[in-house]
Structure 1
Amino acid sequence: MVEHEALRATRQAYDDVASTYADLFRDSLRDLPLDRAILNAFAELARAAGDGRVADLGCGPGHVTAYLEESGTSAFGIDASPAMIELARRFSPGLRFEVGSMTALNLPDDALGGVLSRWSVIHTPPAELPPILAEFHRVLAPGGHLLIGFSATDGAAHPTREFDHAVAPAYRWWPDHLAALLRATGLTEVARMVREPEPTDLRQFQEVHLLARKAPTAAPGADGS
């Protein structure tokens, strides 16, 4: 698959700020109990499908990958930024981290119990997102789960909207619109968490986690044969 210009620009931007980003976000889950709750639910579901592993796509410095591993889930991280992967390997030397792209994952079909995409698709131009969602579907085992996190737009009239991100151009999504794109790839929404912004937040955006499932394989004889 041809790499789009936005990915190259985003990779360079995160390489440039990797150390600062890691310092800001390495302990961020500590103050986000709702995020921890949905991550825990996702991890429990993921352990029941495929080989039970979770791929943390756009893992950054690996803090969420490490959280999943510490909670009893076999997890590994992939990020387009070599600088981020270097930091992740330094912070969590016992875990697997690789440089890679969500547009073409070096993973087999139908393998993973879970795919985590936590604010990793926000830098993807809207026209480029459906192939990435299809790639998530490809690597998930039947019955596997995707947890995707993103910032929401202001309403259904704005299914996508660009916003001024501190690192690279980024996009917000109306949750129903993104859920429809997931359905088009064969991933069905099973849960949704919407976190309202705090009064002190710089950006007054809703933060959304969508949990979606790949259809399980029918049991032998389920069709009456």
Structure 2
Amino acid sequence: MTAAAYDAIADQYAEFAAEVWDKHPLERALWTAFADSVRGRGPVADLGCGPGHLTAHLRSLGLDAFGVDLSPAMVSLARAAHPDLRFEVGSMAALELPEASLAGILSWYSVIHTPPAEVPGYFAEFARTLASGGHVLLGCFESQGAPLTSFDHKVTTAYCWPLDELAGIAAAAGLAEVGRMYREPGAGERPLRHGSLLLRKP
């Protein structure tokens, strides 16, 4: 259902993403910190890459980055916009990648639509594909002290997570928290706090 929903709005989403990713210096600093943590250690997967904006940004930061997305329409747009980069259709729950083959994973708002019961499987797949010392940078909507809640996202149902709960799921999968960041919504944004986790596989 999520793939079909994003297929239907792929062109509009690509325009939106082109405008929004450059607006927040805190998030750009996070992407840079992530890049500094994994640069030169091996390939980096941008999971839920959409039209490829962040995959291209990671490449500009010196990473061997490629993108994976569930939506064929998004992957087609990414390939057209960034023909020098690799993009594949695939599921974060079952990546067609060998064990311990990645230096890093970017999961930027790519698990927000995942039913909560399925999220541990995603983190297990992150841990399976990461090499020792590899990092995950995850971005999401944050619940602002409330329990896990759902809301009516413009595309399909999405979730606001307590970062403590996500960090606990990550720890159960074997991923240790390195750091976290909260950002309040900016002008014109949905009134939801943003959160991020930087995780490391020992």
TM-score by length of 1: 0.87
**Residue 42 of structure 1, CA deviation:** 0.3
> In the alignment, which of 175, 181, 203 is matched to residue 169 of structure 2?
181
**Residue 164 of structure 1, CA deviation:** 1.0
> In the alignment, which of 189, 203, 206 is matched to residue 190 of structure 2?
203
Which residue identity is paired with 2:183? R
For residues 67-120 of structure 1, give each alpha carbon's deviation from its aligned partner in whole angstroms, at most 9, with x where no partner exists.
000111110000000000000000000000000001100001011110010000
Q: Which residue of 1 aligns with 2:157?
A: 169
**Residue 27 of structure 1, CA deviation:** 3.5
Query: What is the alpha-carbon distance in structure 2 between the residues aligned to residue 135 and residue 206 of structure 1?
Result: 27
Is 1:117 paired with 2:104? Answer: no
The answer to whether the 8 Å contact 1:56/1:115 transfers is yes
Query: What is the alpha-carbon distance in structure 2 between the residues aligned to residue 146 and residue 54 of structure 1?
Result: 10
> In the alignment, which of 67, 84, 88 is matched to residue 74 of structure 2?
84
Q: How many pairs were matched up?
A: 202
Q: Which residue of 2 aligns with 1:28?
A: 20
Secondary structure of 2:150's match? Answer: strand
The answer to whether the 8 Å contact 2:40/2:63 transfers is no
TM-score by length of 2: 0.97
Is 1:214 paired with 2:201? Answer: yes
The percentage of aligned residue pairs carrying the same residue is 52
Q: CA RMSD in A?
A: 1.0
Secondary structure of 1:106's match? Answer: coil
> In the alignment, which of 6, 27, 32 is matched to residue 14 of structure 1?
6
The answer to whether the 8 Å contact 1:27/1:63 transfers is no
Structure possessing the higher radius of gyration over alpha carbons: 1
Is 1:129 paired with 2:116? Answer: no
Which residue identity is paired with 1:36? R
The answer to whether the 8 Å contact 2:142/2:194 transfers is yes
**Residue 193 of structure 1, CA deviation:** 1.3
Which residue identity is paired with 1:207? H
The answer to whether the 8 Å contact 1:118/1:149 transfers is yes
**Residue 48 of structure 1, CA deviation:** 5.0
Secondary structure of 2:21's match? Answer: helix
Alignment of 1:37-186 (within 5 A): 37-47=29-39, 49=41, 51=42, 53-155=43-145, 157-158=146-147, 160-186=148-174
The answer to whether the 8 Å contact 2:106/2:136 transfers is yes
Q: Which residue of 2 aligns with 1:6?
A: none
Query: What is the alpha-carbon distance in structure 1 between the residues aligned to residue 189 and residue 14 of structure 2?
Result: 19
For residues 147-196 of structure 1, give each alpha carbon's deviation from its aligned partner in whole angstroms, at most 9, with x where no partner exists.
000001131x51x1101100011111001111011000000110111111
Query: What is the alpha-carbon distance in structure 2 between the residues aligned to residue 209 and residue 43 of structure 1?
Result: 15
